[in-house]
Amino acid sequence: MSKNYALIWDLDSIYSGGSGSEELATALSETTKEIALFKQAVNNWPIPESKEDVSEFLLLINQNADITKQLMNAAAFLECLSSADTRDLKAVELTGSVYQQLSELETIENEWHEKFALVPDALWTSLLTENGLSEIAFMLNEARDNRKKKGTREEEAVINALSVDGYRGWSDHYDTVVATIRIPVVIDGVEKQVSAGQALNLLSHPDRTVRVAVFEAYGKAWQEQSQLFSDTLNHLAGFRLAVYRARKWDDVLAEPLAINRLDEKTLATMWEVIEKHKTTFVAFLNRKAQLFGIEKLSFHDVFAPLTLDSEPKKYTYQEGADFILTQFAKFSPKMASFAKHAFEQQWIEAEDRDNKRPGGFCTDIPIEKESRIFMTYDGAPGTVATLAHELGHAFHSHVIREEPFENTNYAMNVAETASTFAEMIIADASVKEAATKEEKIILLEDKIGRSIAFFMDIRARFLFETRFYEARKEGIVSADRLNEIMKEAQQEAYQNALSEYHPQFWSSKLHFYIADVPFYNFPYTFGYLFSLGIYHQAIAEGSGYEDKYIALLQDTGAMTTEQLAQKHLNIDLTKPDFWESALEIAVGDVEEFLDLTNDLV
Ligand SMILES: [Zn+2]
């Protein structure tokens, strides 16, 4: 048995004194100066004329890394402060100034990358290969290629300037409109007006009569404002498409695929394999409907909890920590000893108290080479899994720190690899250790819920976004038509398994309104299945897998996703085999669930 771990984190070891920290203030005024120097150095950087022209280039690479690390450090620290105490307005204010600095840095980086593009191809290649830069060549090449795919310097400057009141403006406008949404609900006999976020929570209320009423009011509220949302979405997408046209980009998937370093063929194969196994997940939804005593599930029933006689066991924080350490050790002693270190060094904020933000995250503290995890621990198996999830993120950061800093920036589609892997270990172990059949059913149902989310819910979002952008190319898409496209996408993704859908989902989901990242959906599904496939291999191969797994994590920021899978797993992601093996786990869960619930219906 371990000693008792603290429920609150230690932030003073990063900068002492919270948001009033002098150390932090000094660090931030330092970066302001360094950014000015970096800007000057980029402006003065002569385009290399021979492969020997490398010393200034190396200096710029180091300068860029140093500033980025310092700003990441400060941003992470401030995020921790404002999450742990929402009343810390000084932290919020300072966060604003750090983001201001980060955006200045990005502008300078863009100017720098523009110069990359001016170096002739052959010279560029020898500049990298003959000066020991091969190790970080992927990132440098990517920056150069991305720049080359864009327009001229003048065109890009105009696009940038217009984007502030263009899609960024529309994205902000979305938040403004959402904030005005009020939904009338009846709680304990009293009618109340709640916000969109509060209503969303009520949509997974255990009492079905509550859900039914809220769902109706919810749909109505979005419908009433549909004109505002359709204007917003049409203009945001219209701006994006105009930018694409200016850059001569035809395919709307090109940008999100590039952001995720993913091949279109991989994505297509992944979806194909998921579609092939849909009947299993439809059978799950039908069984869940039977357990609710209804014919078919409504949209709001899909993620609603099952209510059975037995509640899953609660874990004290120490029990949860011990459970995680024991289960991690079965897969990877290195991961277990790392997690132990994180508990002992107080990297985790888990206390259940007022004035904390909801949700959880893990953030990297690059200068101290540490991480911090934020969450609220309530003892349910779900929070043990969340804690494991965040520890998985921290482990990813930990192992990738051995790589050059330039190679530590991994994309969204592989960002959830280590976290999902860790979460799976815990979710599986909890199911295995369930004391009663009812407990096992509840835990399995929760686990399968993830598959439903990634294979059906996210699939619907992907289908909608693809079809909407195609339609938008032809002109404005009316609110009614948006409802139709959304409903059709949901029907297809859920294979008509539901009795009612949520046609206004395109207005209620923030993800469709993010300016910088289009298609904020498929990377989730990719990440989940990618991790399941790795988990499948780990189970099959046993203890020898640990080093292979770590080596894969270490390369997540240094190559394309296909190269990563080929190099470390010896698989071709464009072929179905790997995806089939990943699906096997998810399908197995459903089969077990159907077995266990057979005599309950
Ligand atoms: Zn995560």
Residues 186-210 pLDDT 10s: 888 889 999 998 899 899 899 999 9
Q: pLDDT digits over 383-423, tens only?
A: 999 999 999 999 999 999 999 999 999 999 999 999 999 99
Within 434-499, where are the H helices? 437-452, 458-474, 479-493
Q: pLDDT digits over 357-377, tens only?
A: 988 999 999 999 999 999 999
With contact defined as beta carbons under 8 Å apart, do 315 and 381 qualify? yes
- With H, G, I as helix, E, B as strand and everything else as coil, classify residue 401: coil
Q: How confident is the model at residue 212 (pLDDT cuts 50, 70, 90)?
A: very high
Q: Which residues contact 569 (CB under 8 A, 6 or more apart)?
A: 533, 534, 537, 548, 552, 578
Q: What is the pLDDT of residue 3?
A: 66
- With H, G, I as helix, E, B as strand and everything else as coil, classify residue 253: coil
With contact defined as beta carbons under 8 Å apart, do 569 and 537 qualify? yes
Phi and psi torsions of 183, nearest 5°: -120, 120
Cα 149 to ligand 1 centroid, rounded to whole Å: 31
Cα 415 to ligand 1 centroid, rounded to whole Å: 7
With contact defined as beta carbons under 8 Å apart, do 281 and 591 qualify? no
Q: Which residues contact 579 (CB under 8 A, 6 or more apart)?
A: 269, 270, 273, 274, 529, 533, 573
Q: pLDDT digits over 73-100, tens only?
A: 999 999 999 999 999 999 999 999 999 9
With contact defined as beta carbons under 8 Å apart, do 169 and 232 qualify? no
- With H, G, I as helix, E, B as strand and everything else as coil, classify residue 353: coil
Q: How many residues does the chain have?
A: 601
Which stretches of 313-457 are assigned E, i.e. beta strand? Answer: 348-349, 361-365, 370-374
Cα 420 to ligand 1 centroid, rounded to whole Å: 7
Cα 361 to ligand 1 centroid, rounded to whole Å: 7
- 460 token code pair: 């619907």
pLDDT score of 2 more than 70: no
**H/E segment holding residue 131:** none
Sort 199 into a burial class: Cβ within 10 Å, 0-12 / 13-18 / 19+: buried
Q: Which residues contact 557 (CB under 8 A, 6 or more apart)?
A: 139, 400, 403, 407, 408, 409, 410
Q: Of 80-89, 141-150, 285-294, 305-314, which gets the smallest average pLDDT?
A: 305-314
**H/E segment holding residue 362:** strand 361-365
Cα 390 to ligand 1 centroid, rounded to whole Å: 6
Task: Using alpha carbons only, give the angle 367, 372, 375 rounded to the nearest 5 degrees.
Answer: 160
**H/E segment holding residue 349:** strand 348-349
CA distance 40 to 38: 5
pLDDT score of 1 more than 60: no
Q: What is the pLDDT of residue 568?
A: 96
Cα 481 to ligand 1 centroid, rounded to whole Å: 34
- 197 token code pair: 């976020």
Cα 393 to ligand 1 centroid, rounded to whole Å: 7
Q: What is the mean pLDDT of residues 472-477?
A: 98
CA distance 293 to 274: 28
Q: What is the pLDDT of residue 177?
A: 93
455: Cα within 13 Å, side-chain hemisphere: 29
Q: What is the pLDDT of residue 523?
A: 95
Q: What is the mean pLDDT of residues 165-181?
A: 93
Instruction: Find, among 330, 331, 338, 349, the residue nearest to 400 by Cα.
Output: 338
Cα 308 to ligand 1 centroid, rounded to whole Å: 29
Q: What is the pLDDT of residue 414?
A: 95
Cα 389 to ligand 1 centroid, rounded to whole Å: 6
* C-alpha distances out from residue 495 to 23, 142, 348, 498, Å: 57, 39, 42, 8
CA distance 228 to 224: 9
CA distance 438 to 597: 9
Cα 498 to ligand 1 centroid, rounded to whole Å: 29
Q: What is the pLDDT of residue 217?
A: 96
CA distance 223 to 479: 9
Cα 419 to ligand 1 centroid, rounded to whole Å: 6
Cα 311 to ligand 1 centroid, rounded to whole Å: 26
CA distance 199 to 217: 9
Q: pLDDT digits over 269-301, tens only?
A: 999 999 999 999 999 999 999 999 999 999 999
- pLDDT over 70, % of the chain: 100
Cα 422 to ligand 1 centroid, rounded to whole Å: 10
Q: What is the pLDDT of residue 448?
A: 97
* C-alpha distances out from residue 465 to 200, 468, 507, 517, Å: 22, 5, 12, 12
- 228 token code pair: 């505002």
Cα 93 to ligand 1 centroid, rounded to whole Å: 26
Cα 48 to ligand 1 centroid, rounded to whole Å: 41
Cα 523 to ligand 1 centroid, rounded to whole Å: 12
Instruction: Find, among 370, 314, 382, the residue nearest to 344 by Cα.
Output: 370
Q: How confident is the model at residue 143 (pLDDT cuts 50, 70, 90)?
A: very high
CA distance 77 to 488: 44
List the 361-365 sheet strands across, edge first.
348-349, 370-374, 361-365
Phi and psi torsions of 309, nearest 5°: -65, -35
Q: pLDDT digits over 42-72, tens only?
A: 999 999 999 999 999 999 999 999 999 999 9
Instruction: Find, among 205, 202, 162, the residue nearest to 183 by Cα.
Output: 202
What integer best gives the mean pLDDT of the chain? 95
Cα 426 to ligand 1 centroid, rounded to whole Å: 15
pLDDT score of 310 more than 90: no
| Conformational region of residue 540, where left means phi above 0, alpha means psi within -120 to 50, and beta covers everything else | alpha
Q: What is the mean pLDDT of residues 154-175?
A: 92
Q: Which position has the higher pLDDT, 115 or 381?
A: 115
Could you tell me the maximum CA-CA distance found in the chain, to the nearest angstrom? 78
Cα 510 to ligand 1 centroid, rounded to whole Å: 18
